[in-house]
Structure 1
Amino acid sequence: MRAIVTDGDGSIWEESHDRPDPEPGEVLVKIRAVGICGSDIGLIEGEGPPWKRYPLVPGHEVCAEVVELGEDVDSLSVGDRVVLHGFCYCGTCTPCREGRYYQCEDLREIGFTVAGGYREYAAFPAYTLNPIPDGLSDLEACQIDSAACTLHAMKRLETSVTDTAAVLGPGALGLFGVQLLRARGVRDVVLTGTREARLEAGRDLGATKTISVREEDPVAAIDDYTDGDGVDVCVEAAGAGDVVNTCLKIAAKGGQIALTGVFDGPREIDPNDVVAKELSVVGGVTAAHAVDDVIELFERGDLTINGIVTHEFDLVDYQEAIQCVRERRDGVVKAVLRP
């Protein structure tokens, strides 16, 4: 079978691999769609979590079809379409026992330390796969992980219908953030970013105001928009630049901030912004405990991939797809590979 591999030095290539056989507790799946995440581009460049392992087949935004069951698997059936939630964990350490399996002391992560979805077939532990309803398309399904990453962080925030919220970063996570805030009843959502096409997509998805940070200072613009009060809720989804400080500056007194972007290094902040305004700042970098909720939100029509999944490529065209995402060509937000 075809598999796409990187060693983290900036290159990615195709190899021919044997189709895997499922071990006990595993399921053999045929990959139907896999999103190209920004973290995949980082992995190709050698970035990413300290537990990454090379050489590696990337890809964690996976929709697949079950083709064979390993021994002792009774939670799935051949023919099921499934979505991947790619954490492999021990189940016995303290974080696992407390439900924080994504912080397992022996964590392995599909697409980061375990071969992911940039291939035609894969054998994954059955517990990493969630069946999806017939009404969800493959493209919607492969974006469940993105939306659930944002929702996992937002579950740590309390929102009200009277809140004014800001989303910083109009990539996939941010555009899902706009929709998730609207689904929670927040009607006043500001979206900031650098690219007009993505800001326009945000307006179509429910943002009530958009700010191009290339054209105006987002802190001053939000201060003006809120009559100096700031925003009650801030969802950071950029993982770049000085966006953390922007969050601290635009937050209202007693405001809440969720950081979901993965940064390329440390950032300097003024802790007095947190102290003086008594801000609550939380982080989130996983789809844990949010996958089922996102499936339901897609089914209800509260989430859409319109304006988010903008490009599809056959797996054989992976080089073109990677370059499209890397260079942000042709208005790409999310590109998907179809093996």
Structure 2
Amino acid sequence: MIQYLIKYSDSSACLDLVSRRDVSTYKRSNTSRFHRLRPIAPRVEFRPNSPNRKYEHETYMQAIVYHDNKDIRLEDIPEPVPGPGEVKLRITGTSICATDIEEWQYGPLWVQHGSPNALTGKQTPLVIGHETAGTVAELGEGVDNVAVGDRVAVNTVLICGTCFWCMRGQQSVCPNMAVAGFMADGGLAEFMVWPADHLVPMPDSISDTEGPLLEPATVAVHGVRRSGVRPGDNVAVIGCGTVGLLTVQAFKAAGANVIALDVREQSLALATELGADEVVNSSDEQAAGSKLLELTGGVGPDIVVESAGAKETPRMAIDWTRRGGTTLLLGIYSTTPEINFNDIVGPEITVIGSVATSPGDLEAAVDLVASGKINVKPLISEIVPLSRAIEDGFERMLGPNKEVFRIVIQPGS
């Protein structure tokens, strides 16, 4: 059984969602594999001006390539070649998330465009997809931590390891960060090359279709760690999309009492199935606020998590947080929220932003999913072959059906 540690400091208790086998990660010196992550080594690149032209002595694969706003294409491009310290992965699944859709429709926002990324040397056109898993197909020089045939989850975030923040252990806010699918070739392809020290073994209890959802699960784990939650805390989660429902489960694993809020009854039913102690329909804001007070003994939740990303929900989260409590912001906002900062200052509310991942988050997510504490299966809405990724994946997620969580793309399916 996985045993989780609760680390207490002089000022507070904070659940550390990390199994005992991962504790050494936090005790390593500057030689830790998480301390300094080198840029990707040079490899065979496809020619942006003639992406479908065949070149002698190259083996080709299918991939979804981002060119520009509303311009993604299924193309044949050269298979990548692993350099020193890298592996070539045969992709077993990559899921499409809302960020991919936003980049397609409104980008390039995060996608490297116009100049090469300083860490990876990549820019558009590049292969998209950042929620991915695969099987090791080929080893680059010097790789000894994985073997051909290993099933692995992929930490798709690269950091410089040398900046002020990395040196302070705040890798999740490295300003030089590069993410697969945005600043480097990602997982919507038959093969992908990635640093070997960014791979985590994936047990047989996690299927190929579940593997891609380990990435959004790390977002939930990171948020829980950032929140400073204590066992027994009352936590309200606004927004029961994929990340919201994963966050519900991660807080439950941390020992919290969890209240899920959404305007969709189907999503609330799923939240109950996945372990939420209570669910509240938030379409009537005043009634929802009153219900939260009722469920928390008249004081309000200790932590309110905003994972909907809507204009009004950050204000709602702050309003519903108890005096002296914490508001955790997980959403990405396309419009500027309207917030009265006196509502933060007066009741001394702590507001925390959380978006990326830190060392140990992926390992913890793998343990939580493998142990059944986080169930990702209900969040897989459909499995689509790579050849139909645009029509049956991207276009479907752009449609009016708001009950689509993740569509998993599998080469050869």
TM-score, length-scaled by structure 2: 0.77
Q: Is the 8 A contact 1:89 1:101 kept in 2?
A: yes
Aligned residue in 1 for 2:105:
45
Distance 2:215 2:283 in 1: 30
1:202 pairs with one of 267, 271, 274? 271
> Out of 255, 259, 273, which is 2:329 matched to?
259
Post-superposition offset of 1:220 = 4.0
Gaps of 5+ in 2: 1-60, 114-123
Which residue does the alignment assign to 2:35?
A: none
Aligned residues: 338
Q: Which amino acid aligns with 2:76?
A: S
Alignment match of 1:22 (pick from 77, 82, 87): 82
In 2, distance between residues paired with 1:271 and 1:190? 25
Query: Are 1:323 and 2:392 matched, yes or no?
Result: no
| Distance (Å, rounded) in 1 between the aligned partners of 2:110 and 2:95 | 22
Following superposition, the deviation at residue 222 of structure 1 comes to 2.5
Alignment partners' CA distance in 2, 1:263 and 1:103: 18
Aligned counterpart, 1:109: 179
For the 8 Å contact 1:159–1:184, the answer to whether it is kept is yes
Aligned-residue sequence identity (percent) comes to 31
Q: 2:375 aligns with which of 304, 307, 315?
A: 304
Are residues 1:6 and 2:66 paired?
A: yes
Q: Secondary structure at the match of 2:181?
A: coil
Cα distance in 1 between the residues matched to 2:268 and 2:142: 48
Q: Distance in 2 between matches of 1:214 and 1:52?
A: 38
Which stretch of structure 1 is more off in the superposition, 208-217 or 89-98?
Answer: 208-217
Q: 2:240 and 2:381 mapped to 1: Cα distance?
A: 13
Partner of 1:149: 219
1:237 aligns with 2:297: no
How far off is 1:234 after superposition?
Answer: 1.2
Q: Choose which of 117, 122, 125 in structure 2 pairs with 1:55.
A: 125
TM-score (norm 1): 0.93
- The structure that has the greater radius of gyration is 2
Deviations 1:155-188 (A, max 9, x none): 022323432210011111110111111111113x
Aligned residue runs from structure 1 range 212-223, under 5 A: 212-214=281-283, 217=286, 218-223=288-293
Partner AA of 2:262 in structure 1 = G
Q: 1:271 aligns with which of 341, 347, 352?
A: 341
In structure 1, runs of 5+ residues without a counterpart are none
Tell whether 2:205 aligns with 1:135. yes
Match of 2:53 in 1: none
Q: Which amino acid aligns with 1:121?
A: F
8 Å Cα contact 1:178-1:206 kept in structure 2 = yes
1:33 and 2:33 matched: no
Letter matched to residue 129 of structure 2? G
Which residue of the partner structure matches residue 11 of structure 2?
Answer: none
Contact (CA 8 Å) 1:85, 1:287: kept in 2 or not?
A: no
The 5-angstrom pairing of residues 153-172 of structure 1 reads 153-172=223-242
Contact 1:150 1:287 in 2 (8 A): no
Q: Does the aligned pair in 2 maintain the 1:163–1:233 contact within 8 Å?
A: yes
CA contact 1:260–1:284 (8 Å) conserved in 2 = yes
User: Counterpart amino acid of 2:98?
Assistant: G
* Partners of 2:171 and 2:100 in 1: CA distance: 22
Tell me the SS of whatever aligns to 1:320.
Answer: helix
SS of residue paired to 2:249? helix
Displacement after TM superposition at 1:215 (Å): 5.1
Task: Give the direction of change, closer, same or farther, for the CA distance of 1:160–1:87 in structure 2 (3 Å limit).
Answer: closer
Q: Partner amino acid for 1:63?
A: A
Aligned equivalents of 1:161, 1:70: Cα separation in 2 = 44
Q: Is the 8 A contact 1:30 1:120 kept in 2?
A: yes
- 1:192 and 1:212 in contact (8 A); partners too: yes
Q: Which residue of 1 aligns with 2:366?
A: 295
Correspondence list, 1:174-213, <5 A: 174-187=244-257, 189-213=258-282
* Alignment counterpart, residue 286 of structure 1, candidates 356, 375, 382: 356
3-state DSSP class of the match of 2:102? helix
C-alpha distance in 1, partners of 2:384/2:219? 24
Amino acid at match of 2:106: G
Structure 1 residue 224: Cα displacement: 4.5
Alignment partner of 1:68 is 2:121: no
Q: Secondary structure at the match of 2:270?
A: helix
Change (3 A) 1:30 1:6: same
Instruction: Provide the C-alpha distance between the structure 1 equivalents of 2:236 and 2:166, rounded to a whole number of angstroms.
Output: 33
Structure 2: which amino acid aligns with 1:17? Answer: I
